[in-house]
């Protein structure tokens, strides 16, 4: 691993630890308005999402004309920018800028990723994730548990579950017509994006299988890359969410921990 990559990991770990510590001081509230108030940050409704600091005063602008789920995530993301600014008295942000001194745009982009991870942590705190994992292991049911309990979107919950375990995984959220709405690639040495906004072919097991809400099915099938590559067979665990969409995890078989996955969810 390159020095810079190591530093990026360290920045991420230090930042997320700091976010969790600060969150604990405020009883892990997931309400961004309440959290902002506790942190002394003023919330302003607007047509975009931003975090602003002016002469010691801190604001977040949140577009609340969108679905509540989205506004909630955006509010927490903007709070995360303030937490990042303050982390280790500004050292973490300075270090990030230093690593990307050749490209301020890349530094900004990386900070966006960090704030997404922090927003996911604020919305789905570790104690809630641990509870979900105790009940459902590392699976799509775990993500659905988080959706139900935290009000997060399936997309955010999928990432929260995948990112917490260091095994190569793909995640797919597909609608009833076979359209991939979202996908996640985590833990692979190289980036192999599945893609989104494309149709999975009708003969793929994700489409020929029938799923029931909250009951997980397991089978082997190729990872449905948008570029048509079907050479990578993995173990699939999939179920329906409450909106008729298929949520699927793809892992290597040896990484799938057997629990009695077929039992109905306990929520």
Residues contributing to the site for Zn ion (CB under 5 A): 112, 115
In the complex with Zn ion, the residue whose CB is nearer, 108 or 127, is: 108
Q: How far is the CB of 115 from Zn ion (least distance, A)?
A: 5
Work out how close the CB of 73 gets to Zn ion at its nearest, in angstroms, rounded to a whole number. Answer: 11
State the minimum distance, in angstroms, from the CB of residue 119 to Zn ion.
9
Of 110 and 136, CB closest to Zn ion = 110
| Cβ pair 193, 178 in contact under 8 A | no
Residue carrying the six token digits 């990307």: 100
The answer for residues whose C-beta is within 8 angstroms of residue 263's C-beta and 6 or more apart is none
Q: Cα(252)–Cα(226) distance, rounded to whole angstroms?
A: 20
Spatial CB neighbours of 139, under 8 Å, sequence gap ≥ 6 = 161, 216, 237, 249, 261
115 or 121: whose CB is closer to Zn ion? 115
Residue 115 or 143 with smaller CB distance to Zn ion: 115
CB of 82 to Zn ion, least distance (A): 11
In the chain, where does DSSP find H-type helix? 3-24, 32-39, 68-86, 91-99, 104-123, 126-136, 140-150, 154-164, 205-208
Q: Calculate helix-pair angle for 154-164, 104-123, nearest 10 degrees.
A: 100
> At its nearest, how many Å lie between Zn ion and the CB of residue 112?
5
* Closest to Zn ion by CB, 39 or 167: 39
Q: Which of 58, 74, 88, 59 is nearest to 118 (CA)?
A: 74
């Amino acid at each position: 691993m390159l020095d810079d990559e190591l530093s990026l990991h360290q920045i991420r770990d230090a930042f997320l630890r700091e976010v969790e510590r600060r969150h604990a001081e405020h009883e892990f509230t997931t309400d961004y308005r309440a959290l902002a108030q506790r942190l002394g940050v003023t919330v302003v409704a607007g047509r975009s999402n931003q975090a602003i600091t002016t002469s010691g005063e801190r604001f977040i602008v949140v577009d609340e004309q969108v679905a509540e789920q989205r506004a909630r995530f955006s509010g927490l993301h903007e709070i995360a920018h303030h937490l990042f600014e303050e982390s280790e008295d500004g050292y973490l942000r300075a270090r990030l800028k230093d690593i990307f001194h050749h490209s301020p745009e890349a530094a900004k982009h990386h900070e966006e990723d960090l704030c997404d991870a922090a927003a996911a942590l604020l919305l789905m705190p570790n104690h809630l994730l641990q509870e979900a994992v105790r009940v459902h292991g590392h699976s799509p049911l775990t993500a659905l548990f988080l959706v139900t309990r935290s009000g997060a979107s399936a997309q955010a919950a999928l990432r929260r579950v995948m990112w917490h375990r260091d095994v190569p995984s793909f995640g797919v959220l597909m609608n009833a017509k076979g359209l991939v709405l979202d996908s996640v690639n985590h833990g692979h040495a190289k980036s192999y994006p599945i893609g989104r906004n494309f149709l999975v072919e009708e003969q793929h097991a994700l489409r020929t299988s029938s799923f029931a809400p909250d009951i997980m099915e397991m089978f082997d099938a190729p990872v449905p890359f948008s570029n048509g590559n079907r050479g990578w067979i993995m173990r699939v665990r999939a179920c329906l969410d409450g909106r008729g969409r298929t949520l699927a995890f793809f892992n290597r078989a040896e990484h799938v921990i057997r629990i009695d996955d077929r039992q109905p969810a306990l929520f």
